[in-house]
A = this chain, B = another copy of it.
Amino acid sequence: MIQQGLIQQGVLADSLRQSIIDGEFAPGSKLSEAMLSERFEVSRNTVREAFRVLAEQGLLDHAPHRGVSVAAPTIGDVIDIYRARRTIECTVLRECEPEHPAVQRMRDALAESERWLPKEEWQLVGSANMAFHVAIIDLADSPRLARTYRNLAAELRLVFLEIDDPRALHEPFVRRNRIVLDALLSKGPAAAADALEEYLIQSERLVLGAFARMGRG
């Protein structure tokens, strides 16, 4: 007997998560139980269970008796997200095995981003960029680190949504990803990790600058 129709709460959580990541619900906007219950045609209880899951992942803020809203990362959050990324991602890369199969996935993701770059398909460039970094984490073969990283990445998506200048956000970093991969292949993990740290520092700087210009504290 095949396990079919997954549980609705799980589907809803995934679906809602995707909607949020796609920017369908703006960061900071309030999500009422009744509204989602109607839109997704499920009961309030089911909505609430999905809320708990996404809140635990950091995508939603839950204020007692005030409801949940899409997380709206502050500058402090951005700093923290990048700190966590550097801690995990650079260490994984520095200690990786260069023959690991995930390296091929890094290649593929990078090729994908370079393919969309000249066509200025920034959304697709961004997705491929993200796949590149997820592949780096997969070098560690650690489900727990991967899960943590996916949550960080989702939060970062919210940050990018608010900046809304996809070219500035993604264009400069394809080249930097190339540097990271080439360093890994020709000079080894340590050099690649150094290049990655450069990348992350630059990326953080860009995001923080944009935030500051937006007057978001």
Contacts and interface: CB of A to CB of B under 8 A. Distances in A.
Interface in A46-94: 48-49, 52-53, 56-58, 64-65, 80-81, 83-84, 87-88, 90-92
Given A6-B64, A56-B57, A57-B56, A87 B49 contact: no
A214 interface: no
Give the dominant DSSP class at A's interface. helix
Contacts of A145: 83-84, 87
Given A6-B64, A64-B7, A144 B45 contact: no
Interface residues of A, number: 32
Contact of A48 (B3, B49, B65, B88): B49
Contacts of A64: 3, 6-7, 10
A27 B92 CA distance: 30
Contact of A52 (B52, B81, B84, B88): B52
Given A48-B49, A52-B53, A80-B142, 7 more contacts: A10-B64, A53-B56, A83-B142, A83-B145, A87-B87, A87-B88, A88-B88
Interface of A: 3, 6-7, 9-10, 45, 48-49, 52-53, 56-58, 64-65, 80-81, 83-84, 87-88, 90-92, 95, 140, 142-145, 148, 152
10 contacts: A45-B45, A53-B56, A56-B56, A56-B57, A58-B144, A80-B143, A84-B142, A87-B95, A88-B88, A90-B91
